[in-house]
Amino acid sequence: MELLNKNNIFLNCKAKEKEEVIREIGRVLCNSGYVDESYIDAMIEKENIFSTNIGNGIAIPHGVEAAKKKIKKAGIAVMIFPEGTKWNEEEVKVVIGIASAGDEHLDVLANIADNLSTEEAVQDLMKKSVDEIYNIFTGKA
């Protein structure tokens, strides 16, 4: 199973409450076989402790450290919000749900950091297809 599959990339998402977005992306991780369902609550718990908004319109919700045993296999899911969605007091355009018990996700995060380091890059991502986003996030671009 790949870290990211194209079925886990969602374009043109509509704004929702932050918790609803986290639960939705958590369900994608669960339905894809990456995590147990209880991992979703751990993602909410993490967000309540510390915001996963990393700036530049990007949020990376993930579970608390104690939830690592709920992870079956490392994986990510991506939601694109062209109009943005409220994340505390800021607008987020890209939400990347992460499940990883080890270091498998670090290459993906490095790719994200490299490819989405500016607001312009995030805006450019909004125009990409699922295939293009997949290639960017997996380093195949």
Encode pLDDT of 70-119 as tens digits.
Answer: 999 989 999 999 999 999 999 999 999 999 877 766 776 777 778 888 88
Provide the pairing of β-strand 9-10 with 75-87.
parallel
Structural domain includes residue 13: yes
- Annotated catalytic residues are 62
Average pLDDT, the chain: 90
> Which structural domain, as residue segments, surrounds residue 63?
6-138
Residue 138: predicted pLDDT: 81
Residue 1, domain member (yes or no): no
Kindly report the number of other CB atoms within 10 A of residue 12's CB atom. Answer: 10
Q: Is residue 60 part of a domain?
A: yes
pTM of the model: 0.93
Residues 58 and 72: their CA atoms lie apart, in Å, by: 25
Instruction: Say how many domains are in the chain.
Output: 1
Q: Is 1's pLDDT higher than 70?
A: no
Specify if 20 maps to a domain: yes
75 is a domain residue: yes
User: CATH number of the domain that 46 lies in?
Assistant: 3.40.930.10
